[in-house]
Amino acid sequence: MLFMLVGRLVAIAPLGGYLEHRRNTPIGIQVLWRGWLKLHNLCEGWQRS
């Protein structure tokens, strides 16, 4: 179950501005929050269209 959670976090991180080529750095909470908000806005826009 933890593996699935980590996979989803890694999928949300680029939406928040996480750079793939810097995998040595951990994903921060601000990047995850920005990614989550962007995903939420995309889903909300898709539902309204």
Cβ proximity of 36 and 17 under 8 Å = no
* Max CA distance (Å), the chain: 39
Report pLDDT digits (tens) over 1-49. 777 888 888 889 999 999 877 667 888 999 999 999 999 999 999 999 8
pTM of the model: 0.75
Domain boundaries, the chain: 2-18+27-48
CA distance 46 to 25: 32
**How much is the pLDDT for 22?**
63
- If DSSP codes are grouped into helix, strand and coil, which group holds residue 39? helix
